[in-house]
Chains A and B, each alone.
Chain A
Amino acid sequence: MTSRRLFEAAAYALFIALILAAPSVLGEFWLNRIAKYLVFGMLGVAICLSWGYAGILNLGQGLFFGIGAYMMAMSLKLASTTSQQAASDTPIPDFMFWNAEPGADQELCCITKSSFLWIPFQSEWFGLAMAVIAPTLIAAGLGAIVFRKRISGVFISIIMLALVLLVRLLIINNQPLTNGFNGLTDLGSFTVGGLVFDNFSKATYYAVAVALSVSLIGARLLVETRAGLVLQAVRDDANRARYLGFDVPTFQTFFFSVSAAIAGVAGLLYVNVAQFASPTFMDLSFSITMVVWAAVGGRNSLLGACIGAILINMMEAGMSETQALVESWRAIIGVVFIAVVLFLPRGLAGLADDLLNALTRRRAPSPVDIPVTSSRGGA
């Protein structure tokens, strides 16, 4: 068991060292790209935490990502030059002028019916905080209802799927508040003191890399705590855990909320890196794509899911240079996906695990040492 732990620790350390060392090798164009993939890696971690460890396949993780993104983007929109130049005391996003109520006061309080909701977002720290708080609270509230009612498995997946599509439609439908289908573009940059988190700056890259490292290590340590072990027991047999006296919904809700918080942070970082927020973040296909990343990387391994997300996106970027390859790339992804589910249910991490087992067994052939890894298929 010790050599396995050593190997795992080494893999984490190597990965983190690699992403922190990247800026010394890569130019700013690639840094910006890699930063995006690292953000997707965080989504992989979030999915793995809820799917691999809690047994909750969330088909609406895009909800938390999207809300995080929108909260941050609202602040950055107000910080943009065009909003600041509006001829009024408060900054006003350009699209609100196009949607203004006839004869309304040209201030953030009342230019459109719901524009007052934007007032606190004049502080970028408020936007930053809300990007984490809002998804966490929504997940906690939702979990409190859903898990108390002992809804499980595919029903949670469908509730989340319906919810993310519902919120997406509400955002599209509320043009004066959210700029509808167009999303929020032309954003400013997050600024702390003199440090500007420009999307091509090293500061932004480091922010993303550190956030990913922290959430990766944090999640890995969290699943090893007593609460994490109880959670895995719940995943394997909720009724037995209940009979043993554990308050099952509390554990599920807690980890569901942590997963939502990580997705929210990913959303706010993505806005800083990509400089836009759009309802496409809440498309069904994006939420399912996240699950694909985690499945390819390894649904039971936090690092595996994270690397899966980064790897798939890097390959996609490599192939998306020519039009014909873009389309065939999607077909390849389809095939890869079917193959992974059929032949490699534990993903790349499972493959690494098997290799490691083969290696250690050859050196020390003690049958006691073979760990029993769970290869359960989801719920």
Chain B
Amino acid sequence: MIDTLFTGLSLGSILLIVALGLAITYGAMGVINMAHGDLVMVGAYTTVMSGIWLHLGFFAAMPVAFVVTALIGLAIERLIVRHLYGRLLDTLLATWGVAILLQQAVRLEFGAAFFHRHIEGLGTGLQKVSVPEWMQGTVSLAGADVNLYRTMIIVVALLLTALTWVLMYRTPVGMQLRAIMRNPQMAAACGIDVDRMNALAFAYGSGLAGVAGVLMSGFKTVFPDMGTPLVVDGFLVVVVGGVGSLAGTLAASGLLGQINGVVAAASNDILARAVIFAVVIGIIVFKPSGLFSYKGR
């Protein structure tokens, strides 16, 4: 029983770290970033690459991945998304194009494949990241053996959520961002630099995707297509939780993670995912504003 709950909790925390960045870009800014999953993928590859080329450890890769993906996110916002505010579905389509580009950049090793060069750590193949040895063990908790690495993911996910909450609700920057969420024109009229805030928020959301990628790389194979299912999961969590609500995202990822864990324990993983989709459809049909509704943009 505790085993199942713990599995659900760790699945939920993975959903949470993927959804957290989306909660900001979609929830706060009204941009459907289909490239979010691929930013997670970039984060995972950053772990692989920094291990091979810079000999950085697993934890040192986290800030590196944050910076790399935040910069990519900044570029996406400045070059593409900036022109599409208010055109929600067009942001979806354009960022799908970005997603393809990111995947191909990794597959083609930034173009080196054309010249028959190989950059170690990139390419179409699978990559693996090894987690520090002390983290692979298990500890006994209330009579059940829990995996230390999964525990760490739960802790990091909660820490990141807390950090995001503090940034959003306890700092001047967060207050400006929340003002923009409510009403961008009015916020601009009050002297908030909406343009700059949007870029910052998008970069931060993308940076979170990078950290999620580092955590994912520890227990999943890293490959160029790994991002697509993640972005779907992330969206479902954000929509179910209620757009623009951090608490909703937290609750929804917990709920969906537990459902996934329980159904998977009772039957199989495929059916568990199917049940998740069914639950999500039900929630959207009967409560389109999400579990924690919030009137935003």
Contact = CB atoms under 8 A, between A and B. Distances in A.
A2 B127 CA distance: 61
B274 interface: yes
Chain B contact residues: helix, strand, loop or mixed: helix
B108 A334 contact: no
A149 B288 contact: yes
B89 A157 contact: yes
Interface string B223-235: 0000010001001
A327 B108 contact: yes
A338 B93 CA distance: 8
B107 A158 contact: no
B178 interface: no
B271 interface: yes
B113 interface: yes
A11 interface: no
Contacts of A169: 270-271, 273-274, 277
Contact of A335 (B101, B236, B271): B101
Determine which residue in A145, A153, A157, A338 has the highest number of CB atoms from chain B within 10 A of its CB, and name it.
A338
B70 to A, nearest CB: 20
Interface residues of A, number: 43
Contact of A172 (B32, B98, B270, B281): B270
A377 interface: yes
Contacts of B94: 337-338, 341-342
Interface residues of B, number: 42
A52 interface: no
A378 B86 CA distance: 11
Nearest to B116: A324
Given A162-B277, A331-B108, A155 B98 contact: no
Interface in A259-286: 284-285
B88 A335 contact: no
Contacts of B108: 327-328, 331
A166 interface: yes
Contact of A324 (B88, B105, B114, B273): B114
Interface in A330-345: 330-331, 333-338, 341-342, 345
Interface stretch (A122-130, A221-229, A287-295): A287-295
Interface of A: 57, 145-146, 149, 151, 153-155, 157-159, 161-163, 165-166, 169-170, 172-173, 284-285, 288, 291-292, 295, 324, 327-328, 330-331, 333-338, 341-342, 345, 377-379
